[in-house]
């Protein structure tokens, strides 16, 4: 548990700052007063304190929303495309770093970035130097969800362009990754036109912009937009495919195969945009494969916290990104709910699937409710139904994308079964999302509601975890003894809940 508490201390220090150090110091002071602490535990205590101190030193304040000076008067500008371009069949979207803005006095150097909606032609890619014409809107004038999304990337405006010209074609690994990503998407949409192909592209590459407005609304209404956001679940399925393939041919214990598996994981992370959830999942998957190599059983709960702490140390601004928070909360909940040994019958697998989906939904609900005005009642049943469908559809879609980008005819054959799964998923999502009695709006949660939801979520996920239930039982049993261990356990629970409540208050 040392790694678990170290990672937790780093994240606590990065989010709370010096108050985290005070809470940790107070907790250890209570521990020292109420019981005799063995000297053998002092290195562990010092490591946890050092982790909190490291988080405090690297902490950054939540980025303020500062619209650029040109946000309300933009007409023409020059800049650099800093992301891959995604399309929805009518327009393309990308992130643009502005370098110059034109006004009545000519071109003036300016700075700032924003998300862009532009015509389909010419298609741009990462690194392109472009001239653009259109209008801009400050992030402060947008909806809370859009404002948080834009500001989490360090930008302050949304641009609607009527004209784009590419002055210089970009280069570098990001552009090559974007081109591979686009090729995979085209291969899927050739084999499965319309919404099924758009959904398959979202599952494989994270680009779901080609979904029709009706389908997007249904995914939003049912809280299933995370299905098309490449995250830990995608990497977990890839690891399962690689390990199963390696085991079937007897290569799974060979060093060359394990190195190839790790390289494949990072290659996939790069071509899908290297977003924070994928970055963290790649770290966890690589560490898990290394643990298996050395004969150790990976502890995914600890690995997720260590990976998140590493990312917070390297780039502290990541902890304020909603995608990072949602993926981490879901991964921790799933890791806690997963049993240490897998069942051998379909009933056991079904029970695990229901438990993990339920845990992930409960863990992410406070963040979703604090950031979006979304309904909640349809989230759980929809995710329970489409979860197994995703597990079957995603591997087939991945094969269709890879094969189809090289051999289009063969890829289209693989896309047929994948499109059947995609159509079924869309049918389920639209069935729930289109029925208002299943999706009553609950509005955006306030700070008090968010704090209560965080505390309740921690309690529910802990109760669903086998290790959590054992810890609760051990704590309750020790409460009958006079050596103070039961009191320490209760204090630990209270300190954890208070820390989570304060963190959720600050994050909100």
Band of pLDDT at residue 437, cut at 50, 70 and 90:
very low
Residues 150-172 have pLDDT tens digits of 876 778 899 999 999 999 988 77
447 DSSP assignment: H
Domain 76-171, what architecture?
A: Beta Barrel (2.40)
Crossing angle of helices 173-191 and 379-406, rounded to 10°: 100
Closest by CA to 48, choosing from 14, 12, 6, 7, is: 6
In this prediction, residue 76 carries a pLDDT of 92
Label residue 100 left, alpha or beta by phi (over 0 means left) and psi (-120 to 50 means alpha): beta
C-alpha span between 239 and 225 (Å, rounded): 23
The pair phi, psi for residue 194, each rounded to 5°, is 80, -155
CB-based contacts of 369, cutoff 8 Å, min separation 6: 376, 442, 444, 445, 449, 450, 453
Say whether 489 sits in a helix, a strand or coil: helix
Closest by CA to 419, choosing from 214, 191, 216, is: 191
Question: Among 212-226, 236-250, 276-290, whose mean pLDDT is lowest?
Answer: 236-250
pTM of the model: 0.80
C-alpha span between 333 and 2 (Å, rounded): 19
1 vs 356, residue with greater confidence: 356
Residues 124-141 have pLDDT tens digits of 988 899 999 999 999 888
C-alpha span between 124 and 86 (Å, rounded): 9
Q: What are the residues facing 159 on neighbouring strands? A: 116, 136
The ranges assigned to domains in the chain are 1-59, 76-171, 346-373+440-508
What value, to the nearest 5°, has the Cα angle with vertex 226 and ends 317 and 440?
110
């Amino acid at each position: 548990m040392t790694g678990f508490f170290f990672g937790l201390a780093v994240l606590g220090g990065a989010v709370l700052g010096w108050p985290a150090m005070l809470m940790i110091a107070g907790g250890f002071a209570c521990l020292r007063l109420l019981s005799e602490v063995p000297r053998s535990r002092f290195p562990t205590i010092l490591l946890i304190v050092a982790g909190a101190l490291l988080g405090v030193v690297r902490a950054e304040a939540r980025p303020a929303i500062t619209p650029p000076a040109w946000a309300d008067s933009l007409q023409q500008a020059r800049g650099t495309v800093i992301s891959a371009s995604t399309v929805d069949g009518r327009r393309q979207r990308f992130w643009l770093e502005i370098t110059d803005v034109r006004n009545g006095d000519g071109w003036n150097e300016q700075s700032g970035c924003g998300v862009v909606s532009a015509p389909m032609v010419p298609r741009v890619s990462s690194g392109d130097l472009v001239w653009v014409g259109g209008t801009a809107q400050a992030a402060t004038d947008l909806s809370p969800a859009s404002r948080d999304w834009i500001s989490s990337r360090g930008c302050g405006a949304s641009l609607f362009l009527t004209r784009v010209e590419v002055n210089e074609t970009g280069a570098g690994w990001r552009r090559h990754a974007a081109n591979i990503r686009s090729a995979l998407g085209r291969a899927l949409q050739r084999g499965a036109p319309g919404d099924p192909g758009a959904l398959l592209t979202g599952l494989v590459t994270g680009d779901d912009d080609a979904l029709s407005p009706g389908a997007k609304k249904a995914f939003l209404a049912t809280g299933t937009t995370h299905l098309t956001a490449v995250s830990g679940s995608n990497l977990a399925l890839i690891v399962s495919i690689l390990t199963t393939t390696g085991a079937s041919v007897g290569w799974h214990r060979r060093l060359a195969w394990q190195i190839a598996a790790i390289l494949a994981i990072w290659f996939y992370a790069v071509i899908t945009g290297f977003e924070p959830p994928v970055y963290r999942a790649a770290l966890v998957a690589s560490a898990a494969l290394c643990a298996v190599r050395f004969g150790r059983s990976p502890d995914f709960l600890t690995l997720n916290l260590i990976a998140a702490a590493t990312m917070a140390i390297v780039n502290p601004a990541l902890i304020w990104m909603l995608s990072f928070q949602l993926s981490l909360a879901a991964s921790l909940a799933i890791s806690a709910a997963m049993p240490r040994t897998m069942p051998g019958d379909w009933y056991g697998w079904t029970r695990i699937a229901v438990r993990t989906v339920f845990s992930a939904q409960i863990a992410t609900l406070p963040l979703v409710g604090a950031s979006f005005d979304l309904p909640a009642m349809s989230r759980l049943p929809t995710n329970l139904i489409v979860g197994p469908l995703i597990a079957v559809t995603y591997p087939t879609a991945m094969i269709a994308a890879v094969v189809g980008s090289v051999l289009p005819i063969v890829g289209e054959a693989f896309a047929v079964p994948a499109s059947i799964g995609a159509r079924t998923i869309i049918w389920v999502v639209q069935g729930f999302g289109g029925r208002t009695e299943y999706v009553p709006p609950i509005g955006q949660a306030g700070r008090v509601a968010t704090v209560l939801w965080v505390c309740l979520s921690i309690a529910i996920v802990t109760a669903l975890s086998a290790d959590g239930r054992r810890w609760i039982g051990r704590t309750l049993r020790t409460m009958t003894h006079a050596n103070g261990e039961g009191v320490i356990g209760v204090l630990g629970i209270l300190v954890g809940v208070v820390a989570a409540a304060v963190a959720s208050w600050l994050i909100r």
